Structure 1
Amino acid sequence: MARTIDLNADLGESFGPWRMGQDEILLELVTSANIACGFHAGDPDVMAETVRLAVSRGVALGAHPSLPDRQGFGRRAMALRPDEIRNLVLYQIGALAGFARAAGGRLVHVKPHGALYSQAASDAAMAEAVAAAARAFDANLILVGPAGSHLVRAGEAVGLAVAREGFADRRYEPDGTLTPRSRPDALIEEPAEAVAQALGMVERGEVTARDGTVIPMPVDTLCLHGDGPDATAFARRLRTELAERGIAVAALGERPPNAFSRESG
């Protein structure tokens, strides 16, 4: 299926003296960076440095807004009104865009984090609020979400380009949602298995769910988590596998909007 794929990573998730991830190395291997905007992780200094590093390496910049949940790392669901969601997402996009402009870069995409991502994928009202925030800030932004989700459909409804995301190292449920992190088998820890899952999404547009069900999963971008001990080794291995199959790696902003397939249903 896809002969060009974007590789993204969630970065800038350190805070003060606390360090998380292998950002500098991953920025040599990915094409897009989803940078924390301060609500679940990150701070102004971390945001500025992560943006600077990404711009210096030619990596596309993306805002990674979250629910206001530092203690839970943005992974706890919250019941907020749509207007509250819109405003907190708009606030975070604006903050990161400021650092992007100061560093001589520009914001390319928006990818919600954690519970905001999961809730917007399955809740139409929340998805519409996230999409409205991105559209209000810049109609040229690309909204990233799971294939077939409310988030992707909401982005299309307001005229945004959308990018369908797959996860190389996360297991899936039969309904196409990610296996909750509360389950011990939510993460794929064997690199060969994660590479095989990524290639299945890119080449065949499908993924095998936790129960063995094969489900459609066409993707425009793959997320590589950067907080694992083998994150960089896995990223290098995946890039090698993609190259051997003739699959190019390019940032979302380097591909025209019509390169992304429209969702159906």
Structure 2
Amino acid sequence: MSVSTPTDDQLHITIIPWRPWLAALSMMVFCLGATIRWSTSTRFQCNRYAIGITNGSELTDRCRLSRINLLTLLRGGDFQTFPLDNLQRARVASQRRRYSSRGGSHTEYQVMLDVDAQEIPLTPNWQRSRRAQEQLASQVNSFVNQPTRSELIVDTGSSSFSSGFFLLGFLGAVSSLVFLERAVHCEFDKRKKIFIIQRQGLLYQSVERYHLLSVDRTFVEEKVRLKDRNSYRLVLRLKNGKTVNITQYHQMRAERDELAIADEIEDFLR
């Protein structure tokens, strides 16, 4: 988005990259949520007590499912408890997930606990390995069917590859927002015969000054990319042949936006 305030002697143009900023913020939110999701680990623990009363307190056979990630640690924990007698079985559920518009798909699996009329996920995410899920379900069912066993502990780890992948995406979005996407303010002054380009980022600021009479023309430069996704930037050409980039190539800026700014500068310099 650009904002201009022209007068007879001065022209001020501010170019604010709202769309890249919003895209970077959206990517940060998405990747942070995905990182938390895929870094979640669980612990499922069940206990049977041979003696129902100890130290004057009645003990009941219970199960506890704990989920651990950054958010649950900040909240003080996320867990469910229920009587062991309500646990009927563990089973492996499956679903088909599409991954392309051409109909490609694969099957994912997740262990579910049947507790009374409820269905509680044991594992935090759907996985592509059926065998691993069947092993987890077998551990739970073995404990349920063996009344002599006193304790069951099942730990499911997080997906380090997936969480690391989304964490890198989050850091990349932060870097883009902080270091790459900058607001640009241009000031053209006929009385002082100068033009100034000021670039302002979250952690970066630069100022460039040029003589106004050294400007030859303003034009939009196109960079051809694959699949017709061309990108554009606004360029000032000086009379000595040097070029000054006002904006940088970015696919999210339309050619008409750059042309409108170029025409406004050309009209002012005539």
| Band of TM-score, shorter chain | under 0.3
Q: Which has the higher contact order (CA 8 A, sep 6+)?
A: 1
Q: TM-score, normalised by structure 1?
A: 0.17
Q: TM-score, normalised by structure 2?
A: 0.17
- Give the helix-richer structure, 1 or 2: 1
